[in-house]
């Protein structure tokens, strides 16, 4: 406003300087709230557990300010922790891949539907997602339990009762069910932007459907695939609800160990829990950075 | 142009072996219908079993509404429900505003530290939720200790700590969604507005905002969903006196499977669906 009403300035420099100052103020105003919130309630808490991870656990679940590396040493020597890492990452990869295989055709289907239907179809993916995660996991408990729906069908057909609860399969079903919308939404966003006439062009030029898909559509929708995979993989690996409810104590993931160290252990061991949480985070970040590097290279 | 496309479609018809491209429409439809079934069957079962007379919630033995009656009498559960809706609402409003502002700054301005901030914003998405929850638990206990030593006031975890944490978690998600819609539209429209004499405030409200509104609503809905859905952060950041619905349901599910939990779940589902429909109605006249 001010710039328009001010009479022509003596020099262009004065104008551009004024404009730059206003620009800077605008940026500051826009950036500050987010930066403030995330510094205080995201970055600082991580600094706190970083400090805790080098302290000594106290006798009543508190921390004693004595510096130590013991917490980290335990993480690499006790098989309890190492096994939990491996199982968590393996289940995370499986869940992501299954979600991708199920989610991609669904996203294509929605993107190719008549515009009027798209919103409805997309919301139909979202509605289960709007129900609480626990509720969705609980729904599978009803279906999978020993006298649940699947076993009712199985025994009605004359087959012996299956024990589905407290298995890795049950956990995997629960994870895929819970995370699928996280995959479909970003996939849809990038498939929707994809120009399907390119596929026509590819087949005009003699490419088979499969070749057109792998060489044209897949690379162009890679941002959606990458975003969806990350959005699915992260919450999966940190899960403890699904593995707790559908896996019993038999399918222990890292989340379960962390929860126990922080709240249930007697006494709670925050320094060890902090060290485990940080290591877990670090390993995941390395995986993700590696993953993003490889996908962007493919894009180029 | 039109002539060209007509002739090309005519030649396509002449060659007749080739149809317009589709990824095997029938297969795609069948797979998608199966996926929708996978998504909905558990929910349908959940709702059906909330009316069963079987106390173990394993058989459909008859129709009753007694489980819903029990809900109304359960003060704890009702209080927890209200708390959860309140937290989700506040968290949605704050994180949508902050997230939209941040998205605008990142998409429309060049400033020092932009790349670093951009990467930093992805961290809450990338970091496992449980790590964030535990760090917040440690942070609040640390901060409250400090405050007590400095001022003698003892603060405790409660709704405020849950809301603060949910906002911190949701901002990045809103930013991602809003940025996508900022990138998705023709920026020349903004330039045209500037050329026609609009200032940046007018340009935002007249041009940018209506165009990215679906993105903002989408981001807001995501923030609301995240908060409503969230168990992990709520579980670790809430205080002993304040119960949230997911935390309450979790402790009940751990004890036993009863149709009462189905009943509360069904109600949650009804609320969510109403909200979805409402957001659609609100969105329609604008877009």
Residue B282 pLDDT exceeds 70: no
Does B143 have pLDDT greater than 90?
yes
Q: Residues 225 to 264 of B: which have CB under 8 A from any A CB?
A: 225, 228-232, 236, 245-246, 249-250, 253-254, 257, 261-262
Q: State how far the Cα of B124 lies from the Cα of A227, in Å rounded to an integer.
A: 14
Region A7-11: mean pLDDT is 50
Which residue has better confidence, B181 or B44?
B44
Residue B282 near chain A (CB below 8 Å) = no
Q: Is residue B52 part of a domain?
A: no
Tell me, what's the pLDDT at A79?
85
Residue of higher predicted confidence among A16 and A274: A274
Angle subtended by helix axes A270-299 and B114-126, to nearest 10: 120
Per-residue model confidence as pLDDT tens digits over B4-29: 444 444 444 434 344 444 557 788 89
Q: What is the pLDDT of residues B223-279, one digit of tens each?
A: 887 888 788 899 999 988 888 988 888 888 888 778 888 888 888 778 767 766 666
pLDDT digits (tens, 9 = 90+) for B177-194: 888 888 877 778 888 888
Span A119-146, average pLDDT: 82
Say yes or no for a CB contact (<8 Å) between A230 and B126: yes
Contact across the interface for A127 and B126, Cβ inside 8 Å: no
Chain A / chain B CB contacts < 8 angstroms: 258
**pLDDT for B7:** 40
Residue B182 falls inside a structural domain:
yes
Distance CA B244, CA B87 (A): 9
**Neighbouring residues of A95: CB distance < 8 A, sequence distance ≥ 6:** A172, A175, A176, A179, A232, A233, A236
Inside any domain, residue A272: yes
**Record: contact B126-A135, CB cut-off 8 A:** no
Phi, psi for B198 (deg, rounded to 5): -75, 145
Q: How far apart are CA A238 and CA A277, in angstroms?
A: 10
Distances (CA, A) of A57 to A67, A273, B111, B148, B220: 10, 10, 44, 22, 41
Q: Does B21 touch chain A (CB under 8 A)?
A: yes
- Out of A144-153, A184-193, B52-61, B157-166, the most confident range is B157-166
Contact check, Cβ <8 Å, B276/A127: yes
Nearest to A238 among B129, B167, B280 (CB): B129
pLDDT of residue A291: 67
Percent pLDDT > 90 in chain B is: 29
Q: What is the mean pLDDT of chain B?
A: 82
Distance from CA of B190 to the nearest CA of A (A): 16
Residue B148 belongs to some domain of the structure = yes
Question: What share of chain A has pLDDT > 90, as a percent?
Answer: 23
State how many domains chain B has. 1
pLDDT per residue over B81-140, tens digit each? 889 989 999 999 999 999 999 999 998 888 888 889 988 998 888 788 889 999 999 999
Evaluate whether residue A19 is within a structural domain.
no
CB nearest B249 (choices: A135, A142, A152) = A135
Inter-chain contact B58–A234, Cβ cutoff 8 Å?
no
Which residues in chain A are contacts of B130 at CB distance < 8 A? Answer: 238-240, 254-255, 258-259, 277
Is A33 contained in some domain? no
A268 in a structural domain: yes
pLDDT above 70: residue A295: no
Mean pLDDT score across all residues of chain A:
84
Give the residue with greater pLDDT, B282 vs A64.
Answer: A64
CATH number, domain at B182?
1.10.3720.10
Going by pLDDT thresholds of 50, 70 and 90, the confidence category of residue A182 is confident
Phi, psi (5° rounding) for residue A68? -155, 155
Nearest to A281 among B27, B128, B275 (CB): B128
Task: Mutate one of A20, A95, A101, A134 to test the B interface: name it (highest B CB count within 10 A).
Answer: A134
Cβ of A138 within 8 Å of Cβ of B253? The answer is: yes
Average pLDDT value for residue range A87-96: 92
Number of independent structural domains in chain A: 1
- Whether the pLDDT of residue A6 is over 60: the answer is no
Q: With beta carbons less than 8 A apart as the criterion, state whether A138 and B261 touch.
A: yes
Q: Among A34, A144, A193, A273, pick the best mutation site for testing chain B contact (most B Cβ within 10 A).
A: A34
Residue A155 belongs to a domain with what CATH number? 1.10.3720.10
- The answer on pLDDT for B58 being more than 50 is yes
Q: Which of B134, B193, B259 to mutate to test the interface with A (most CBs of A within 10 A)?
A: B134
What digits encode the pLDDT tens for the residues A144-171?
888 788 888 888 888 888 888 888 899 9
Is A244 contained in some domain?
yes
pLDDT of residue B22: 53
pTM for this prediction: 0.76
Return the pLDDT at B257.
77
Domain-located, residue B273: yes
**Rounded to an integer, what distance in angstroms lies between the CA atom of residue B158 and that of residue B80?**
12
Look at residue A46 and tell me if it is in a domain.
no
In chain B, residues with a C-beta closer than 8 Å to the C-beta of A126 are 221, 225, 276
Q: Are A135 and B46 in contact (CB under 8 A)?
A: yes
- B31 to A126: CB separation less than 8 angstroms, yes or no: no
- pLDDT given at position B26: 85
B80 touches chain A (CB under 8 A): no
Q: What is the DSSP string of B128-149?
A: -HHHHHHHHHHHHHHHHHHHHH
Q: Which residues of A213-240 are buried (b: 16+ CB within 10 A; e: fewer)?
A: beebbeebbebbbbbbbbbbbbbbbbbb
Contacts of A81 (CB under 8 A, 6+ apart): A74, A75, A257, A276
Among A251, A257, A250, A255, CA closest to A240: A255
Of the partner residues A42, A102, A138, the one whose CB lies closest to the CB of residue B168: A42
Q: Which domain holds residue A263?
A: 79-295
A123 in a structural domain: yes
Asked whether the beta carbons of residue B45 and residue A143 sit closer than 8 angstroms, the reply is yes
Burial class from Cβ neighbours inside 10 Å (0-12, 13-18, 19+) for residue A150 reads middle
In three-state secondary structure terms, B52 is strand
Find, in chain B, the residue whose alpha carbon is nearest to that of A242.
B250
Q: Which residues make Cβ contacts (< 8 Å) with residue A235, sequence separation at least 6?
A: A179, A182, B128, B129
B52 pLDDT higher than 80? yes
Residue B281, pLDDT > 70, answer no
Q: Do A231 and B56 touch (CB under 8 A)?
A: no
> Which one, of A175, A164, A142, lies nearest residue A243 by Cα?
A175
């Amino acid at each position: 406003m001010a710039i328009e009403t001010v009479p022509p300035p003596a020099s262009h420099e004065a104008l551009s300087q004024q404009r730059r100052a206003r620009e800077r103020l605008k940026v500051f105003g826009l950036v500050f709230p987010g930066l403030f919130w995330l510094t205080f309630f995201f970055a600082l808490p991580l600094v706190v557990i970083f400090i805790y991870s080098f302290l000594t656990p106290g006798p009543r679940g508190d921390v004693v300010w004595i510096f130590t590396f013991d917490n980290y040493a335990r993480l690499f020597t006790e098989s309890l922790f190492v096994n939990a890492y491996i199982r968590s990452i393996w289940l995370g990869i499986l869940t992501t891949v299954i979600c991708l295989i199920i989610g991609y055709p669904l996203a294509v289907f929605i993107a190719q539907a008549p515009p009027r239907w798209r919103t409805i179809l997309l919301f139909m993916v979202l509605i289960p997602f709007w129900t609480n995660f626990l509720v969705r996991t609980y729904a599978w408990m009803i279906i999978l339990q020993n006298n649940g729906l699947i076993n009712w069908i199985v025994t009605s057909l004359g087959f012996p009762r299956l024990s589905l609860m407290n298995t890795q399969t049950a956990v995997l079903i629960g994870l895929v069910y819970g995370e699928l919308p996280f995959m479909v939404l970003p996939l849809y966003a990038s498939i929707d932007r994809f120009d399907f006439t390119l596929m026509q062009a590819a087949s005009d030029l003699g490419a088979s459907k499969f070749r057109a898909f792998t060489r044209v559509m897949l690379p162009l929708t890679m941002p959606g695939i990458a975003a969806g995979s990350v959005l699915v993989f992260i919450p999966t690996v940190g899960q403890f609800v699904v593995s707790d409810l559908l896996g019993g104590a038999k399918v222990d993931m890292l989340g379960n160990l962390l929860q126990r160290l922080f709240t249930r252990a007697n006494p709670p061991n925050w320094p060890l829990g902090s060290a485990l949480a940080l290591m877990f985070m670090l390993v995941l970040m390395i995986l993700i950075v590696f993953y993003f590097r490889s996908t962007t290279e493919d894009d180029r | 142009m039109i002539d060209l496309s007509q002739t090309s479609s005519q030649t396509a018809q002449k060659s007749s072996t080739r149809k317009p491209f589709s990824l095997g429409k029938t297969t795609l439809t069948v797979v998608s219908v199966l996926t929708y079934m996978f998504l909905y069957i558990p929910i349908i079962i959940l709702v059906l079993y909330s009316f069963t007379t079987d106390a173990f919630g394993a058989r459909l033995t008859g129709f009753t509404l007694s489980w819903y009656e029990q809900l109304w009498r359960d003060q704890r559960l009702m209080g927890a429900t209200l708390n959860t809706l309140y937290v989700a609402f506040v968290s949605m409003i704050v994180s949508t505003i902050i997230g939209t502002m941040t998205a605008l700054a990142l998409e429309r301005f060049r400033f020092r530290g932009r790349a670093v901030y951009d990467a930093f914003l992805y961290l809450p998405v990338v970091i496992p939720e449980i790590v964030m929850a535990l760090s917040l638990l440690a942070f609040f206990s640390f901060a409250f200790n400090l405050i007590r030593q400095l001022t003698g006031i003892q603060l405790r975890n409660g709704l405020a700590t849950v809301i603060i944490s949910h906002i911190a978690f949701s901002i990045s998600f809103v930013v991602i969604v809003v940025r996508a819609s900022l990138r998705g539209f023709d920026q020349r429209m903004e330039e045209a507005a500037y050329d026609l004499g609009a200032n940046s405030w007018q340009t935002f409200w007249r041009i940018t905002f209506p165009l990215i509104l679906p993105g903002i609503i989408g981001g807001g809905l995501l923030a609301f969903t995240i908060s409503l859905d969230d168990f992990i952060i709520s579980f670790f950041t809430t205080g002993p006196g304040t119960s949230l619905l997911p935390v309450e349901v979790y402790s009940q599910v751990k004890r036993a499977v009863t149709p009462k939990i189905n009943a509360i779940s069904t109600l949650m589902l009804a609320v969510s669906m109403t909200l979805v429909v409402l957001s659609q109605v609100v969105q329609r006249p604008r877009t």
